[in-house]
Copies of this chain bind each other. A is one copy, B any other.
């Protein structure tokens, strides 16, 4: 574990003043993220300028001290837990929206801006930034970019990597680099900005981002389709994705999820989910009031087919909330099953969803633990949730073993480890199964170019 040399402590206190925290109780707030892992840093820096970030990186490098960038710590993989000690650089004070340029469909922001705050500022201009992680209201743009955050809208609009035009960043060598340009097309040298997105703070610290914006659709409509079984729902997903109207959301729940949601809704005096539903799709379209009815008709038609049990459409906000209720009931319903939950977001090609779900159900039986599957079906990005009691050593062991099998299953179906949560610590040791040895070796060498002394977020993303 690292410790802060006295000379460095003096240097950084002079640089940062009261934005250099050494008190353990202050540091504790930066010790964890949404992964339930915890490691208290030796110090926390709250820089306010890119010059401070650059000086901080150079100082840490001079002392070979680990430096972990942090947005708001909402990631689920341990990516921001300072497991090697050292300094956490929290970007909470670099939270300016520097420029919104509606005519150029872009915004320039500091990394600490919260996604939700940005969306509210953009809405005034009739624009939005597409990435919509569940944590949007309290996660930062810098964190969204570092983890390539997605969300349900990614099926139509892409994830963070698809919605960034340019980044300014400080490498682990302490160099300020400018990647990309504020234009929606570019063929000028190597694409460094998309390489930084999803690199989880292991290559460089983002100090400014130019984001690609989309026009805010004035209206949305939702369909709720219930199917006899997962195979019927998956076939509908393939049909929905093969026709020209791309839904703005396409969410899936397996039969266990539907049963859990139905029980939760009934216990709370509501719900309208039929008993014979073995899978559910929520299909949303966005657009203007003129074209939306046609879009929804095309989606209805694609959703209709073998195994459809019921198809409901919402035309107003109240109806929309009623149809989304099943999805919203899922999280509280899952909490009633067991005190512990592992939520992994594997991805498979859309056509392999039935095999993934069937395989997960077989693993649930084999390991005698409830595992349910739901998520962003249009991207094949499914959240596999395993419920267990962390206080029970046997269950914990079985949970780990089952999740390793889930990863292996997703990979065997031509998928990958993560669609939007990232790797961090949680999936780091599975990387050699997803990425070939020469490719991993190349990634390690790239890391060495950006971060020659390995000070940036050591122990994350790349296996030891």
Q: Assuming the A-B contacts A294-B294, A380-B183, are A190 and B443 also in contact, with contact meaning beta carbons closer than 8 angstroms in the complex?
A: yes
Q: Is A25 an interface residue (CB 8 A)?
A: no
Q: Which one of B184, B195, B298 lies within 8 Å of A194 (CB-CB)?
A: B195
A244 to B126, CA, bound (A): 9
Q: Is A455 an interface residue (CB 8 A)?
A: no
Residues from 259 to 309 in A contacting B, C-beta threshold 8 Å: 286-288, 290-291, 294-295, 297-298
Contact indicator A186/B419 (Cβ below 8 Å)? yes
Interface residue tally for chain A (C-beta within 8 Å): 99
Copies per assembly: 2
Q: Is A422 an interface residue (CB 8 A)?
A: yes
Q: 1/0 contact trace for A230-249 toward B, CB 8 Å?
A: 00000000100111111000
Q: Which one of B181, B191, B297, B349 lies within 8 Å of A197 (CB-CB)?
A: B191
Q: Is A436 an interface residue (CB 8 A)?
A: yes
Rounded to whole Å, the gap between the CB of A107 and the closest CB of chain B is 12
Contact indicator A185/B198 (Cβ below 8 Å)? no
Rounded to whole Å, the gap between the CB of A58 and the closest CB of chain B is 13
Residues from 102 to 121 in A contacting B, C-beta threshold 8 Å: 102-106
Rounded to whole Å, the gap between the CB of A233 and the closest CB of chain B is 13
Chain B residues near A445: list those with CB within 8 A: 449
Q: Which one of B148, B351, B381, B435 lies within 8 Å of A178 (CB-CB)?
A: B435
Chain B residues near A197: list those with CB within 8 A: 191
Q: Which one of B171, B188, B244 lies within 8 Å of A287 (CB-CB)?
A: B244
Q: Is A175 an interface residue (CB 8 A)?
A: yes
Contact indicator B347/A183 (Cβ below 8 Å)? yes
Rounded to whole Å, the gap between the CB of A143 and the closest CB of chain B is 13
Contact indicator A438/B177 (Cβ below 8 Å)? yes
Chain B residues near A106: list those with CB within 8 A: 349
Q: Is A399 an interface residue (CB 8 A)?
A: no
Most buried by B among A415, A441, A442: A442
Q: Which one of B291, B435, B438 lies within 8 Å of A189 (CB-CB)?
A: B435
A422 to B197, CA, bound (A): 22
Contact indicator A188/B416 (Cβ below 8 Å)? yes
A246 to B184, CA, bound (A): 13
Sample (21) of A-B pairs whose CB atoms are under 8 Å apart: A102-B238, A103-B349, A105-B241, A105-B242, A181-B416, A183-B347, A184-B378, A185-B347, A185-B420, A186-B416, A186-B418, A187-B418, A187-B420, A187-B421, A188-B423, A189-B434, A191-B197, A192-B439, A290-B298, A442-B449, A446-B449
* Apart from A104-B238, A190-B198, A215-B241: 15 A-B pairs, beta carbons within 8 A: A103-B241, A150-B187, A171-B442, A182-B349, A186-B347, A187-B419, A187-B422, A188-B423, A188-B431, A189-B198, A189-B443, A190-B195, A192-B443, A215-B246, A442-B449
CB within 8 Å of B: which residues of A?
101-106, 126-127, 147-148, 150, 154-155, 159, 161-162, 171, 175-179, 181-192, 194-195, 197-199, 203, 215-218, 238, 241-246, 286-288, 290-291, 294-295, 297-298, 347-351, 376, 378-381, 414-423, 427, 431, 434-436, 438-443, 445-450, 461-462
